[in-house]
Amino acid sequence: MECVIKDFFQNPEKYYSKDVTISGWIRTVRDSKTFGFLEVNDGSYFKNVQVVFNNDLENFENICKLTIASSVEITGEFVKTENAKQAFEIHAKEVKILGEADPDYPLQKKRHSFEYLRTIAYLRPRTNTFSAIFRIRSVAAFAIHEYFQNNGYVYVHTPIITCADCEGSAEMFKLTTLDLKKELPKTEDGQTDFSGDLFGKETYITGSGQLHVETFAPAFRKVYTFGPTLRSENSNTKTHANEFWMIEPEISFCDLEGLMNIEEDCLKYIVTKVLERCPEEIDFCDQFIEKGLKDKLHKLINSSFVRIDHKEAIDILKKADREWEFKPEYGEDLAKEHEKYITEYFNGPVFVKNWPKDIKSYYMKLNPDGKTVAAVDLEVPGAGEIMGGSQREDDLETLRKIMKEKGINEDQLYWYMDLRRYGTNVHSGFGLGFERLLMYLTGMENIRDVIPFPRTPNNCDF
Ligand code: 4AD
Ligand code: MG
């Protein structure tokens, strides 16, 4: 019978003493004069199955010469093993060689650096590490949809092509069909004239789905979007990519406290489901990527996250007995080293809320003090800021005033402002950086190693 390796691990009893057929790829070959062992992985499961073959097989010599990564189809008896490392193995009756791998296959059985593996990103999913990472990625994505669907949210597909400025137009990739090899048409005041471009105006690739998803909140109450996000920032760090995935919920009749409750609940749900559904992968990450990862994740589920004001965070940083590369200041952003200190100080996730208005976006709710906004970032050890959110400014006049202060073009955002004219209400939302979440879930230290094909400054291979 045709089987996948996952079934063997989940229900071995069903297969003992039966003939099974599997298809997969060779991970290792060991042979002696009369018999040998193959480790085969078929992609269905993190672990391999061991296949024993002997010189009764007519192609014994060819099997011994099999190269790593070759694809094979194997039929044999599924046998329970006693006192062996693995509980079962297959005794081959037939090994069909389907596609041999050239001997220069780069992933021979030795450890490779993550840097090197990035240069062969099209092969790295076949390594144990990336097999674990990308299955966790898939399971986490599903758990996120599940969380929101279970809790009555409507999934909205916000556009990739946009003319709306959410997180700063300077950080958005421009989109044009104008012929860049020719001289660009100019307007009277010397700017590029986009009137002859496909959309008849300047357009961008989205850097956030927030503004569009916000328009759905007054229709469906609770909504979310989950999609690719592009930012042209030239940040060569371990936590920034130019293409990443973001989850952005928006909740009507929800204030900042309510928002933090949802963020915490959502993160705990995702962690719970990943622990439940990827035990082998998490064990592997715990052993080889971040020692103590599993404990960290279990602890998160059972903790309640610390909530402090931005001002309190600065107080803590200022009291710290250490040298800073960037001196912490009230009214200023937190640097990486500050985020790290704060999460280590509390030894877990920390909500930093009520940020100085001058360093945050125009759409955030102005607090009664007139100086801070009802914004919140969730900081975690390692990945830093994984969620950024806020209560939204629901008062039209205040929004208009702040937009003016920050130089945001009202004309382009009239539709966003209209939401404040047609039944405005307290509402809040956040953005969860999917890759930062994965860094936290797996212990990987570089964002380039949790996304299949990373796009970072000077880096767009494949
Ligand atoms: O803090 P950000 O910029 O917030 C927004 O985009 C809001 N519109 C979200 C909202 O309220 N709906 O981004 C949100 C999250 C960050 O906390 C971070 O996890 C991630 O997106 N992020 C990045 N991840 C990888 N590479 C980058 N360059 C990122 N920039 C932001
Ligand atoms: Mg942010």
Ligand with an atom nearest the CA of residue 457: 1
| Protein residue closest via CA to atom 27 of ligand 1 | 240
Distance CA(155)–CA(162), nearest Å, equals 19
Q: Is 208 in the pocket of ligand 1 (CB under 6 A)?
A: yes
Q: Is 385 in the pocket of ligand 1 (CB under 6 A)?
A: yes
Residue 170 confidence class, pLDDT cut points 50, 70, 90: confident
**Which strand (E) or helix (H) includes residue 318?**
helix 310-319
Distance CA(101)–CA(99), nearest Å, equals 7
pLDDT, tens only, 235-247: 999 999 999 999 9
Residue 168 confidence class, pLDDT cut points 50, 70, 90: confident
**What average pLDDT score do residues 13-19 get?**
96
Cα angle, residue 107 at apex, residues 105 and 111 outer, rounded to 5°: 155
Amino acid identity at 156: V
Q: For residues 51, 55, 59 and 61, what is the CA-based torsion angle, rounded to 10 degrees?
A: 100
Residue 169 confidence class, pLDDT cut points 50, 70, 90: confident
Q: Is 356 in the pocket of ligand 1 (CB under 6 A)?
A: no
pLDDT of residue 229: 97
Q: Is 42 in the pocket of ligand 1 (CB under 6 A)?
A: no
Beta bridge partners of 278: none
Most distant pair of Cα atoms in the chain: their distance: 85
Q: How far is the CA of 313 from the centre of ligand 1 (A)?
A: 20
Residue 339 confidence class, pLDDT cut points 50, 70, 90: very high
Is residue 264 a contact partner of residue 305, using CB atoms and an 8 Å limit? yes
Beta bridge partners of 460: none
The atom number, within ligand 1, closest to the CA of 246 reads: 21
Mutate to test the pocket of ligand 1, among 234, 246, 408 (most ligand atoms within 8 A of CB): 246
170 contact partners, CB below 8 Å, separation of at least 6: 232
Helix (H, G, I), strand (E, B) or coil at 67: coil
Q: At residue 109, does pLDDT exceed 80?
A: no
Give the mean pLDDT of the chain: 96
Q: How far is the CA of 296 from the centre of ligand 2 (A)?
A: 24
Cβ count within 10 A of residue 181:
5
The atom number, within ligand 1, closest to the CA of 431 reads: 9
| Protein residue closest via CA to atom 22 of ligand 1 | 433
Q: Is 209 in the pocket of ligand 1 (CB under 6 A)?
A: no
The atom number, within ligand 1, closest to the CA of 386 reads: 19
**What average pLDDT score do residues 293-297 get?**
97
Q: How far is the CA of 356 from the centre of ligand 1 (A)?
A: 18
Residue 102 confidence class, pLDDT cut points 50, 70, 90: very high
Q: At residue 43, does pLDDT exceed 80?
A: yes
Query: What is the token pair recorded at 267?
Result: 């993160």
Cα angle, residue 120 at apex, residues 64 and 126 outer, rounded to 5°: 50
| Protein residue closest via CA to atom 17 of ligand 1 | 387
Residue 123 has, within 13 A of its CA and on its CB side, a CA count of 15
Distance CA(186)–CA(450), nearest Å, equals 42
Q: Is 167 in the pocket of ligand 1 (CB under 6 A)?
A: yes
Place of tokens 């797996």: 442
Closest CA to 350 of 312, 307, 311: 307
In the chain, the percentage of residues whose pLDDT exceeds 90 is 95
Distance CA(158)–CA(208), nearest Å, equals 9
pLDDT of residue 110: 83
Helix (H, G, I), strand (E, B) or coil at 327: coil
Distance CA(248)–CA(381), nearest Å, equals 22
**What average pLDDT score do residues 66-71 get?**
97
Amino acid identity at 102: D
The atom number, within ligand 1, closest to the CA of 248 reads: 12
111 contact partners, CB below 8 Å, separation of at least 6: none
The atom number, within ligand 1, closest to the CA of 377 reads: 17
Q: At residue 156, does pLDDT exceed 80?
A: yes
